C-alpha cells in the first residue's frame, strides 16, 4: 500500500507539479495553505509533523557523504500550471544519495523561497524533484539571490509560458546542471511535498551555495504567477537538520 501511494505521488509530481486535477487549491484565501487539509481527504498529510518548508537552523554537524549528480541535458517541455513553472525532464538523469538512484523527473520554482536558511528568505528557489524505483522522493533545493543574469535560467525563460495552462516545447533540450552551484555541499532534513497532498517521507537536500539570477529574470517568473507561490514555514518539531 505504501509503495503504491508513493508511486502515485511520483506520477503526480512528474506530470503536474503536485497539482490535483480534481481539487483546486492556491496560496491565498479559502483555498490557501491554512485550508489545504480540509479541501480533500487526500491532503491529510498537510497537518503532519514533518512538513516542508522549514527555516533551516540549529544545524547538527555530520559527516554527510557527497551527493552524486549524473545530470545530462533533458529538459524538453516547460509548463505553467497556475501553481508554478515546471520543466519536465527526459529519462536518464539522476542523483545518488544513500546509495540509491533517484531519477530526475522535473524542476520548478517558487518566489519567494519556501525554505529559509538561518532566518533568511531568498527571492527565488528551484526544486529538482527525483524518485527512486519504488517511488520514494528526493528534492534538491537551490536558492537564488539577485545579481547577474543566470545563463541556465535564461535558456528556460526563453520559452516561459505566461498564462496558466500554457506550455512550450524546447527545440534544444536544456540542462538542469546549468542551474546548480559549483559547490554541492548541502543541508539535509526529512520533510514533505510543499504542495498538496503534502506527502511526507521526502528526503530534502538544500544546497548551501546560493546562485545568482538577474532582477528581470526573477520578475519574469513573478509575472507569470501573479502573486507569491510559497507555502509558509512549517514547524521543525523533533526533526534534526544535518550539515
| Beta strands per DSSP E along 26-84 | 55-56, 68-70, 75-80
Any idea which residue has 530534502 for its cell?
A: 204
Sign of the alpha-carbon dihedral angle for 205, 150, 234, 195: negative
Q: Indicate the DSSP class of residue 38.
A: H
- Distance (Å, whole) CA 50 – CA 46: 9
| Active-site amino acid positions | 83
C-alpha to C-alpha distance for 95 and 102, rounded to whole angstroms: 5
Cell numbers standing for residue 106? 522535473
Closest CA to 142 of 153, 133, 155: 153
Cell numbers at 89, concatenated: 525532464
d(CA 170, CA 155): 9
- Tell me how crowded residue 201 is: count the other CB atoms within 10 A of its CB: 18
Amino acid at each position: 500500500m505504501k509503495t503504491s501511494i508513493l508511486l502515485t505521488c511520483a506520477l503526480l509530481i512528474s506530470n503536474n507539479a503536485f497539482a490535483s486535477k480534481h481539487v483546486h487549491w492556491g496560496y491565498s484565501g479559502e483555498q490557501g495553505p491554512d485550508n489545504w487539509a480540509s479541501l480533500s481527504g487526500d491532503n491529510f498529510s498537510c497537518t503532519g509533523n514533518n512538513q516542508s518548508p522549514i527555516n533551516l537552523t540549529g544545524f547538527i554537524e555530520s559527516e554527510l557523504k557527497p551527493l552524486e549528480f549524473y545530470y545530462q541535458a533533458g529538459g524538453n517541455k516547460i509548463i505553467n500550471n497556475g501553481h508554478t513553472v515546471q520543466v519536465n525532464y527526459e529519462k536518464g538523469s539522476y542523483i545518488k544519495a544513500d546509495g540509491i538512484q533517484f531519477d530526475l523527473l522535473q524542476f520548478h520554482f517558487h518566489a519567494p523561497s519556501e525554505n529559509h536558511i538561518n532566518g533568511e528568505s531568498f527571492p527565488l528557489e528551484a526544486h529538482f524533484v527525483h524518485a527512486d524505483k519504488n517511488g520514494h522522493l528526493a528534492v534538491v533545493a537551490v536558492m537564488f539571490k539577485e545579481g547577474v543574469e543566470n545563463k541556465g535560467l535564461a535558456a528556460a525563460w526563453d520559452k516561459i509560458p505566461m498564462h496558466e495552462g500554457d506550455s512550450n516545447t524546447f527545440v534544444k533540450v536544456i540542462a538542469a546542471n546549468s542551474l546548480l552551484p559549483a559547490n554541492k555541499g548541502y543541508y539535509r532534513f526529512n520533510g514533505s511535498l510543499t504542495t498538496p497532498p503534502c506527502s511526507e517521507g521526502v528526503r530534502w537536500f538544500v544546497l548551501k551555495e546560493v546562485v545568482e539570477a538577474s532582477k528581470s529574470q526573477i520578475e519574469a517568473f513573478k509575472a507569470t504567477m501573479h502573486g507569491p507561490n510559497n507555502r509558509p514555514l512549517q514547524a521543525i518539531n523533533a526533526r534534526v537538520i544535518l550539515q
